[in-house]
Structure 1
Amino acid sequence: MMRKSMLVGLIGSNITNSLSPVLHEDAFATAGIAGHYHLMDVNRLKGRQLETLLAAARTAGFAAVNITQPFKEAVIPLLDEVSAGAQQVGAVNTVVIDPSSRLIGHNTDRSGFRRAFEETLGRDAAAGKPVLLLGAGGAGRAVAFALMDVGVERLMIYDTEQARAAALCADLIVKSGITHGAFVADPKSAARTAAGIVNATPIGMLGHAGMPIDDALVRSEQWVADVVYTPLETQFVARARAKGCRAMTGGAMCVHQAADAFQLFTGLVPDVRRMRRVFDEACAGRDAALAAMA
């Protein structure tokens, strides 16, 4: 039986400007559910840790929570069950709390990035081609598997923590039998051969200003993609567009991963086109307000 009311939320750092509440609460209203989406930002909830916030959500009767950086990998040991897909990725961004209060982890970042990529840049942009991935954390892990899903010829992974990039490469081989992934110690040579570059780090997000890679390494014939959507047009995306690159912002991924998460929350398939319209309107308003404050 579908719930008439539902409490869900998001646990993470630096999430004050998240558009998840707008997306999910509109989808709840459209489905006839009295739903509330609550942000739990560890930057503001001083002294609160992931484990205590999960416990509080379970006690308060939450139906589910989304998980974002820096907790997508750290949450796994705290769960009662992890879906096969999330196990393969090695990261969780959605935790459903079942009627017996068990915590079940899923990953909708992988499917969200894949669908966004196919919709925005097209599968052929990566299929059979070398791609450079910046970042091997929770988001990077999901993106890596999504890029494998669309058939990259070679995935080159760079992370400032080299051991993390090497671990992701090893997981790609062990968990999917793929042998054409490699970690790189320096992105310069990889960027020269890459058909496209994906930023899966927080760099460029509000509060994490800067570029994830030297702008001089991005060429006009390449495409770029970013998982960041606060702001929607990151410096990385803006500079690449200025060079003539095809570019994908983090907006489409946000919408598609949210749609998949909503289905896990409710069992209902949301109207993705409506979610995109809601996102675009909310994002434009948010970014205008942020620009006015700058």
Structure 2
Amino acid sequence: MVSAAASAVMTEGKAVADSRPILVGLLGRGIQQSRTPAMHEAEGRANGIAYIYRLLDADRMGVMPPRLSEVVDFAEYFGFDGFNVTFPYKQEIIPLLDELSDAAQAIGSVNTVVLRGGRRVGHNTDMWGFKESFRLGMTLAPRNRVLMLGAGGAGSAVGHALLESGIGRLMIGDIDTARATALADRLSSRFGADKVEAVTDIVEASQAADGIVNASPVGMDKLPGMPIDSALLRRGCWVADIIYFPLETQLLAEARRRGCRTLSGEGMAIFQAVRAFELFTGTAPDADRMKAVFSAFGGAPPE
């Protein structure tokens, strides 16, 4: 299926190459092992689009990396059509943008920026990405009470997705209690006060939870470890992680060892990329094809 914006570059039902390359990237820190460029570039080729995807890794920009505003200026100056945004910039990027989509505005987090007509427009495809992954990977999973760890930009998107997926009550825990409370208040205003609470007693919350979701960066290659004591993982409680590198986080490995049903960050990584690709190109991609490219990396850590 191809969106209306892409129909202008169709000839006899087959996509033809765009008149110029599409140049996009991923902005973040420690992202050299990302699978996102391969997914995007392969899908561009499949649709006849000259598509270039580059990493804008602040960890590779010298001892004193440029300010975020300077990197965004750089992307505009060198003709980028847009870029994805990952840890730790999903909220920091917002003041630098001209406009936010309805989803990005509601969530308060941006993971995709489209540069077009001299304007910077922020979108959030993380929410839909996690929602689709959860729908497909956690069918019939109990969802009366869910504990979410992490209340940052990713946590905001995942919190919205969980509540839209029918979670009865979402408990939010974060090392920054003020941030957890702020996110709980924001979600309560949209979904109802009876649906959300900020929690400080993670032990008590985990015992009451049907499922636990890690929406924090703890477990990434550059932030190894677990966001919760392994002793709190019990059989019958499902566990999801949004981290994609490594795909097999310590949390998921330990949860499986203890008999928990698990959901990795693979689905969210793929589905957020599906929506981002369409925003960049105007062409609706093939999600199964992008998943095949993601999976082709075998044991290599993904983004």
TM-score range for the pair, normalised by the shorter chain length: over 0.9
Structure 1 residue 101: Cα displacement? 1.8
What SS is found at the alignment partner of 1:43? helix
Does the Cα contact within 8 Å between 2:34 and 2:301 map onto a contact in 1? no
| C-alpha distance after superposition, 1:43-62 (max 9, x if no partner) | 11132121111111111111
Aligned twin of 1:182: 197
Does the Cα contact within 8 Å between 1:11 and 1:50 map onto a contact in 2? no
Change in CA separation of 1:176 and 1:80 when aligned onto 2, cut-off 3 Å: farther
What SS is found at the alignment partner of 2:188? helix
What SS is found at the alignment partner of 2:300? helix
Q: How do residues 233-248 of structure 1 correspond to structure 2 at under 5 angstroms?
A: 233-248=248-263
What is the percent sequence identity of the aligned residues?
Answer: 45
Structure 1 residue 178: Cα displacement? 5.0
Between the aligned partners of 2:285 and 2:112, the Cα distance in structure 1 is: 16
Aligned twin of 1:252: 267
Corresponding position: 1:7 with 2:3: no
Aligned twin of 1:292: none
What SS is found at the alignment partner of 2:22? strand
Look up the equivalent residue of 2:129 and give its one-letter code.
Answer: G
CA RMSD of aligned residues (A): 1.4
What SS is found at the alignment partner of 2:167? coil
Corresponding position: 1:62 with 2:76: no
Aligned twin of 1:118: 135
Q: How do residues 75-154 of structure 1 correspond to structure 2 at under 5 angstroms?
A: 75-98=93-116, 100-122=117-139, 124-127=140-143, 129-154=144-169
Change in CA separation of 1:108 and 1:30 when aligned onto 2, cut-off 3 Å: same
Change in CA separation of 1:39 and 1:126 when aligned onto 2, cut-off 3 Å: farther
Corresponding position: 1:221 with 2:232: no
Bigger relative contact order, structure 1 or 2 (CA pairs below 8 A, ≥6 apart): 2
Between the aligned partners of 1:285 and 1:242, the Cα distance in structure 2 is: 19
Structure 1 residue 175: Cα displacement? 3.5
Structure 1 residue 126: Cα displacement? 4.9
| Runs (5+) with no aligned partner, structure 1 | 289-294
Does the Cα contact within 8 Å between 1:126 and 1:147 map onto a contact in 2? no
| C-alpha distance after superposition, 1:171-218 (max 9, x if no partner) | 112244453201111211000010000001111111111111000001
Does the Cα contact within 8 Å between 1:66 and 1:94 map onto a contact in 2? yes
Does the Cα contact within 8 Å between 1:137 and 1:164 map onto a contact in 2? yes
Between the aligned partners of 1:190 and 1:146, the Cα distance in structure 2 is: 20
Structure 1 residue 285: Cα displacement? 4.5
| Runs (5+) with no aligned partner, structure 2 | 1-7, 10-17
Look up the equivalent residue of 1:246 and give its one-letter code.
Answer: R
Change in CA separation of 1:50 and 1:112 when aligned onto 2, cut-off 3 Å: same
What SS is found at the alignment partner of 1:275? helix
Aligned twin of 1:22: 38
What SS is found at the alignment partner of 2:59? coil
Does the Cα contact within 8 Å between 2:33 and 2:301 map onto a contact in 1? no
Look up the equivalent residue of 2:131 and give its one-letter code.
Answer: R
Look up the equivalent residue of 2:300 and give its one-letter code.
Answer: R
Aligned twin of 1:291: none
Determine which of 272, 283, 286 is the counterpart of 1:268: 283
Between the aligned partners of 1:200 and 1:230, the Cα distance in structure 2 is: 13
